[in-house]
């Protein structure tokens, strides 16, 4: 099976390439700009035509959540129009598309984990652009799986876990938000789930009942403060950087974009339909911190 992945430099794409290399008979081809620019329809069509994938994973996104508040046009061009371009190309090629979305499509007011049937209501430009992208994917391609994920981190790129370790090497104490709840997601765990789903949908016809929206994130829940403390506990055991963590409120750490107070996502539908469940978020932290601290 050949998997075409957009957004070659992103965390999810990097992890898909790494995971795919370990699977016999699987060819993961990650392509980014300039060869594949999702904001340019002709570029997407040309890449799909040349590579002839069995499944397309759209992992390309504008993820600068705060900057999006002042760059709504660019965020929408990538996250909405770009997503639609990829889905149309997949539909024309007759292959399924797996599109990566976000917890930010919700307003965070629910007190328990969000299911796929809950009402959306993004409170940021980024969230609105991603929700528009979901809708364009649904319109453009019958054979689509939209995976909403949350709090993604990995050994690659810029993310919360890497930032915490870097700051801990500079300061003895850090203030971290303790009133936002979510399900941290280790990108290699997400990549494994995507590969599993891709293998299943590559065999499904247009009439398959599996098409639609799913939530895919680490099992369990915590706050940003709880995540930071877990990172430092693991790092300290390995002889890596660690710091004391002081819980603070969202109001103590103002940002340009509002964040959902509750980003918890239920993975029940994904488990029921595909038999796929991501490991506990602590397992991901342990694996990620070990790689970062030991440098492998």
**Contact indicator for 230, 222 with CB cutoff of 8 Å:** yes
Buried b / exposed e over 234-263, threshold 16 CB at 10 Å, is: bbeeeebbbbebebbeeeeeeeebbbbbbb
3-state helix, strand, coil in the chain (%, to 5): 45, 20, 40
Which helix (H) or strand (E) is 99 found in, with range?
strand 97-102
257 to 102, 133, 221, 228: CA distances (angstroms): 15, 19, 22, 21
Catalytic residue among 104, 126, 181, 214: 126
**CA–CA separation, 292 and 190 (whole Å):** 18
Q: Which residues contact 42 (CB under 8 A, 6 or more apart)?
A: none
β-strand partners of 4: 29, 56
For 24, what's the count of Cα atoms within 13 Å in the CB-facing half-sphere? 0
**What is the CB neighbour count within 10 angstroms for residue 57?**
30
Nearest to 86 by CA among 157, 6, 177: 6
142 to 85, 180, 207, 212, 215: CA distances (angstroms): 14, 35, 9, 9, 19
Burial of 24 (0-12, 13-18, 19+ CB in 10 A): exposed
Q: Is residue 104 annotated as a catalytic residue, yes or no?
A: no
**CA–CA separation, 253 and 110 (whole Å):** 22
- Catalytic residue annotation: 126
């Amino acid at each position: 099976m050949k998997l075409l992945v957009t957004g070659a430099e992103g965390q999810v794409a990097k992890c898909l390439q790494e995971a795919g290399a370990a699977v016999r008979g699987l060819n993961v081809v990650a392509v980014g700009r300039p060869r594949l620019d999702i904001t340019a329809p002709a570029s997407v069509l040309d890449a799909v035509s040349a590579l002839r994938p069995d499944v397309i994973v759209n992992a390309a996104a504008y993820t600068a959540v705060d900057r999006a508040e002042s760059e709504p046009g660019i965020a929408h061009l990538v996250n909405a129009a770009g997503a639609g371009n990829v889905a149309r190309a997949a539909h024309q090629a007759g292959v399924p598309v797996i599109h990566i979305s976000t917890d930010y499509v919700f307003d965070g007011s629910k007190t328990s984990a969000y299911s796929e049937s809950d009402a959306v209501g993004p409170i940021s430009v980024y969230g609105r652009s991603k929700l528009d992208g979901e809708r364009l994917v649904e319109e453009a391609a019958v054979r689509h799986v939209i995976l909403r994920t949350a709090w993604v981190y990995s050994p690659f790129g810029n993310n919360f876990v890497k930032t915490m370790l870097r700051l801990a090497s500079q300061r003895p104490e850090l203030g971290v938000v303790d009133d936002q709840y979510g399900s941290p997601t280790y990108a290699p765990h997400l990549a494994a789930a995507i590969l599993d789903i891709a293998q299943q949908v590559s065999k499904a016809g247009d009439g398959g009942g599996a098409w639609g929206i799913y939530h895919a994130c680490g099992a369990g829940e915590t706050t940003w403060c709880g995540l930071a403390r877990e990172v430092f506990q693991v790092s300290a055991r390995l002889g890596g950087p660690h710091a004391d963590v002081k819980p603070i409120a969202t109001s103590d750490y103002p940002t340009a974009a509002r964040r959902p107070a509750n980003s918890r996502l239920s993975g029940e539908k994904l488990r029921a339909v595909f038999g796929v469940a991501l490991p506990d978020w602590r397992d991901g932290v342990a694996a990620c911190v070990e790689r970062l601290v030991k440098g492998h």
